[in-house]
Chains A and B, each alone.
Chain A
Amino acid sequence: MARASFSQATWLVAEREMKTLVTAKGFWIGFAFTIIGLFALTILPTVFGGDDPKVAVVGSATQAVQGKQLDVLEVGSVQEAADLVRADDVEAAIVPDGAGIKVLALNDAPDDVVAQLVQAPPVELLDASAVTSGQRAVTVIVFGLVFLMFGMGGAAIAQSTVTEKQTRIVEILVSTVPVRALLAGKILGHTILTLGQVVVLALTAPIALRVAGLGELLGVVAPALGWFIPFLMLGFVLISSMWAVAGALVSRQEDLGSTMGLVMLAVMGPYFGVQFFFENPVALKWMSFVPFTAGVAMPVRLFAQQAQPWEAILSLGILAATVVAILLVASRLYTGSLLQTGGRVKLSKAWAPAE
């Protein structure tokens, strides 16, 4: 009789996982939110932060605002200008004060208006970077969020595993194909889908940046993005093998919460770690070599031009080695727990050789 080879079985499992996921509405809604969210994150600051401050100007003070980036409204008297300030119609009023001028504002000194009126001394950066700290902050958030979302998306693997255990189709599957093919197929299927989504995001990112008027940033983002993809994919394989084990340890969807904690920690921990410490070069450097945080930390360092390509390759190597190790561990735990039913399987029991 014909037999499905290991790779055929793996592919069949992968194919089914992908088909199940892409025919689910939730998948597309989630993906749409991701794209919309990333566009919003890039574009909104320019939309909301773009207007010049609105000021009322009286008499001779008009000369002081000429050629400045201010939205000027000329009024007849100081009293009239002060009323506009009180009514919040303008951010500030600029009025003559003896030989000079004076700024009237409600309860806060209007820094953006004042900055336009003073003569700033020229600044020369000794260590100029193409990337401002603001841009770096946005990159950390974007890379971090993407990693977080796909990492959490791996929970679908846990759910699909529990479905198989709960419905007991797992008995048919296990008597038909090797357990390793089931695990490999699940990880492969979800990784391909994630890669597909990342490619779509990577292709739309330049559009978002152009719309936001940040086209010049593209030259800096592109290489970092190029590095981000392999880091993200390997990081995803790492996390998804953990999701698979989390699913195999329980027998019902309701119990999934009890095993998902550790995996969520492995996904959220790096996200918050990088968010909190990205301003600290030493911490960021360390994080860029630790497998779980490397996926976000190393691309951010590359983006900020703080890391050499060899560092990225080394980090990627460490990540790949960790993936292999975790896969071996996960495969044993998955095999040991897949057929155990009733309550949560202890890790030690899953690890023990089969009876």
Chain B
Amino acid sequence: MLTVRGISRSFGDHKVLDEVSFDVRPGRMTGFLGANGSGKTTTMRIVLGVLAAHGGTVSWQGAEVGPQNRPDFGYMPEERGLYPKMKVRDQITWLARLHGVDRETAQRNTDALLADLELTERAGDRLEELSLGNQQRVQIAAALVHDPALLILDEPFSGLDPIAVETVLDVLRKRAAGGVPVLFSSHQLAIVERLCDDVVIISKGRIVANGSREELRARHAGQRYEIVVAEDAGWVRDVPGVTILELDGPRAVFEAEPQQVLRAALDRAEVRSFTPVVPTLDEIFREVI
């Protein structure tokens, strides 16, 4: 487990991170959400030792993170880049070896990953000859090739077409299923919604929400329900204690004590559906930041 506790960081007078704390648990995909400039990248760079923290600790399996355990991590930086003139396969193999993987394993891992990412045909091409989307896949391979014990990916899906997103998702899910904690940042909330088990939301350098996706949703669900009846649902607004949020013919979304509305509905008309409205991450996100 990766444990981040009380991390702070300033650039000049500007405080970018203020006592940031969260965990990335084994076998779980943790989505790291925040608006541009909220501190996602700074946090990740501190975990990777690319940037120093001005306070707080980062530990991995109970030991402080440093040069001795960092090579176990896999990192995909926000600003992409590998050696433009190096061949794809050579490049990935080289990075694996730099992480301490022996030559044979490095080559075997590279070939397997390139196959998973559908890049086998481009293995002998120089990186600069690939399209941006394919370069992005190579970047994913670079983060995974040494079988990292922890994955930290900064916006892994930006710049990918929907098919590539699925390919990369598969690869990442496999890793998480194998017990690897995965922390990834994204501004594509729909993807995070589908993909992540845990969510950490950061706003202006502070953690504003943190927990499993279901937990967060339940916490922010409130007393919101949707009812669909056979005829016009206009009568719902007359039930005492009801606040109408949407009203559209036979469908109404409202906040109230649900049993009372349901009872009233059964008296009046045929009820087609009655469901609690669970907020989307998007809604939670808007609410907390």
* Residues of A that sit less than 8 Å from B by CB: 1-4, 8-9, 12-13, 16, 19-20, 24, 163-164, 166-169, 171-178, 339, 354-355
Contact = CB atoms under 8 A, between A and B. Distances in A.
A20 B75 contact: no
| Closest A-B pairs by Cβ, 4 of them | A167-B81, A2-B100, A168-B81, A175-B48
A12 B90 CA distance: 12
Contact of B99 (A19, A176, A339): A176
Contacts of A171: 45, 48, 50, 75, 77, 79
B71 interface: yes
B164 to A, nearest CB: 21
A3 B72 CA distance: 8
B142 interface: yes
Looking at B49, B85, B100, the one whose CB has the most chain A CB atoms below 10 A away is B100
Given A163-B83, A175-B70, 14 more contacts: A2-B100, A3-B71, A3-B100, A16-B86, A168-B79, A169-B83, A171-B45, A172-B77, A174-B49, A175-B50, A176-B99, A177-B98, A178-B67, A339-B51
A13 B97 CA distance: 10
Given A174-B49, A175-B49, A166 B81 contact: yes
Interface in B32-61: 45, 48-52, 54
A1 B100 contact: yes
* A interface, over-half SS: helix
B80 A4 contact: no
A2 B52 contact: no
B70 A176 contact: yes
Contact of A354 (B52, B99, B143): B52
Nearest to A182: B98
B142 A172 contact: yes
A60 to B, nearest CB: 76
B98 A9 contact: yes
B274 interface: no
Interface string B65-93: 00110111101010111111110001000
Given A168-B79, A174-B50, A1 B71 contact: yes
Contacts of A175: 48-50, 70, 73, 75
A174 B49 CA distance: 8
Contacts of A16: 86, 94
A169 B81 contact: yes
A60 B81 CA distance: 85
B81 A12 contact: no
Contacts of A174: 49-50
B170 interface: no
Contacts of A13: 98
Contacts of A176: 70-71, 95, 98-99
